[in-house]
Chain A
């Protein structure tokens, strides 16, 4: 197991990563690369190319022995470094041991009902998170995983057992290479597996035209979810705010109208999904 994991960011109070107020921990590293990714800087680990250093206006990023070193206290959160980075990474990541994360979470436990690990793709750190979850359980908190569904379930059985609920982002069921730059296809199979084990809190799909067959994806997921009335299906209209220039160019004609997403939500309900939410 990794002794330490690279964490991109921790949000001590999050109201969008599962039920109630939660500590959300974003792990560095992803196994796919989506056209609309809003957290591009979480995809890869820093290669210490040092390109971000000159652009930092507050001197929060420095070179020490050929490596990028970040001083949180000086950072003004202008995000210039992650705009500069050509490797989909960030100099602002930090390594944590399980012990250090537990200590951090413990400081906020009275305000939250649980933690959610996200990313990147958190299942890439399955062993580390399994240990973390065992410890967090003793704090009386629930443990959620926010995943894209692309994992080898045989390799993460311990994590699945230890996790209270998953939130599964089904990117699409077709054209995955175009949308996510991956040849993996087992996200739906994994979703079914987790559903059968009663391990799913919510399924999400970001609705994007051109890069996916929206109807095929939503109808397929809905047909599966209709047997699980307690599981939420959340449809999110893709938006380009805050994306990189090249992403904006790719997406400029692919953002669906609010009305279209509403129509899709209606169809999903007609198929039999009980809890449908929209973010327009």
Chain B
């Protein structure tokens, strides 16, 4: 969506933003002041879908000057250091952590904060010499990240192998209870030892991280990848240029039959999104000079050839519910067999169009854009009727086993990421084996990504990132808070009541 000149004064005089948030918001408003038809060559039809909000470009702007998500290969630091920042390869843990913190300041993204900060366990492992002393350093480092990268889309990966550093990281995140960094364990039950997986499951319950990703499945679909930002699976040493999303809950409005949706409206809008992505990538690669100027590219942290684009969607539940009503059924998405059929029919249309569209500068993913189940955002009134991704609307979830069985087949479509979240009750803390059984079962059913958390913790996962409930409450009172994601979290809760996600007691 384009911005208005008046946005600039609104941002500058806001009472509820920090200095840094104002600075970034002003930059973002500037990117959206330029005319996308002039700069990118959007057609009238493409503009219509932005203006009627069927397609949301997540306010990425129209003068793209860096890829949305950047997934640097931090192993380059270990091997070569960084000439641009005058860093030599680290020789001990202190040097490594210091160099990483320096490097993070220079990794761009859509939020201006790094969305991926490395395989922290494997980067640290060669330098672990004294467990007790090193633990203090790791904990201090993680706390530094939380306070200096005030954005929970910042993501670290661990696993699938067990490491000493990995265990120290798990211990530290439980003690710190910080939202940032978001964290994933790339989990493969044939590689990840049970004891390490159980420790990760415990941390996931206590502090909502690390989430579990189905490493076998993602390796098969995306190859050498990392989990970044919310739960995006993107090529390592590259990333994603852009992520627009189809607002299915908006697209469906006014259709008179499922047939009309599947055969007329949805294909038109979906095709328009594909061509918009082409234009955005062309500008970024051919005109912005990002790949010509960034030291990350010059020094091998990134390769243009490792980038792809994400084909996002939200609001499947709302679209399905709309069609169920048209068909005269008193059922809702999540517990309706017909609802699932409609959901898969919608996804099939989107998948077919994405798979038949020849993308640009996406050789890493066979010239295709990868489907992504976007977690939602509060960019407009329309987001009220667009539930995150393919998720079931909070309050309408079936019992946990049926919920997982409903969700897993939808995970199949989303090669660049999706995930489901389950609030468990206290008893699972004493039965971590059962938590892992559930995750193993979900992955065996085809699920890609699972997060669990305890219902009564302050730190919870909103849609794909972590916020403290207490911080979100401050936002609701109009106070300034450190993290932009706390602000998003408050919006998500007002919209979708995510803090009241169904609690899974034993057996429910």
Contacts and interface: CB of A to CB of B under 8 A. Distances in A.
Nearest to A112: B437
A146 B37 CA distance: 70
Interface stretch (B377-385, B389-397, B440-448): B440-448
Given A108-B401, A110-B445, A20 B507 contact: no
Contacts of B400: 13
Interface residues of A, number: 17
Contacts of B436: 20
A107 B399 CA distance: 14
Contact of A16 (B435, B444, B506): B506
Contacts of B434: 13, 15, 20-22
A113 B436 CA distance: 11
Contacts of A22: 434
Interface string A130-145: 0000000000000000
B506 A11 contact: yes
A111 B437 contact: yes
A15 to B, nearest CB: 4
Nearest to A11: B507
B4 interface: no
Contacts of B433: 19-21
A15 B442 contact: no
B427 interface: yes
A20 B506 contact: no
Nearest to A23: B401
B103 interface: no
Contacts of A112: 437, 441
A111 B442 contact: yes
Interface residues of B, number: 22
Contacts of B435: 21
Interface string B174-192: 0000000000000000000
B507 A21 contact: no
Interface string B124-139: 0000000000000000
A34 to B, nearest CB: 21
Interface in B375-434: 399-402, 404-405, 427-428, 431, 433-434
A129 interface: no
A21 B438 contact: yes
Contact of B438 (A11, A19, A24, A111): A111
A14 interface: yes
Interface string A1-35: 00000000001111110011110100000000000
B502 to A, nearest CB: 13
A22 B431 CA distance: 11
A7 to B, nearest CB: 14
Interface string A97-111: 000000000011011
A112 B437 CA distance: 6
A110 B427 contact: no
A15 B431 contact: yes
B428 A110 contact: no
B440 A13 contact: no
A24 B437 contact: no
A20 B436 CA distance: 8
A12 B504 CA distance: 12
A78 to B, nearest CB: 16
B507 A14 contact: yes
Given A15-B506, A21-B437, A110 B401 contact: no
Interface string B99-112: 00000000000000
Contact of A111 (B401, B427, B431, B507): B401
A15 B440 contact: no
Given A11-B507, A21-B434, A108-B401, A16 B427 contact: yes
Q: Which residue, A16, A21, A113, has most C-beta atoms of chain B within 10 A?
A: A21
Contacts of B431: 15-16, 20-21
Contacts of B442: 111
B47 to A, nearest CB: 47
A108 B440 CA distance: 12
Contact of B399 (A12, A15, A19, A110): A12
Contacts of A113: 437
Interface in B432-484: 433-438, 440-442, 444-445
Nearest to B408: A110
Which of B434, B442, B445, B506 has most chain A Cβ within 10 Å? Answer: B434
Pick the 3 closest A-B CB pairs, nearest first: A111-B441, A21-B437, A11-B507
26 contacts: A11-B507, A12-B399, A12-B401, A12-B507, A13-B434, A13-B506, A14-B506, A15-B427, A15-B431, A15-B506, A16-B506, A19-B433, A20-B433, A20-B436, A20-B437, A21-B433, A21-B435, A24-B507, A107-B405, A108-B401, A110-B440, A110-B441, A110-B444, A111-B404, A111-B440, A111-B445
Given A12-B507, A16-B506, 4 more contacts: A13-B401, A20-B431, A110-B445, A111-B401
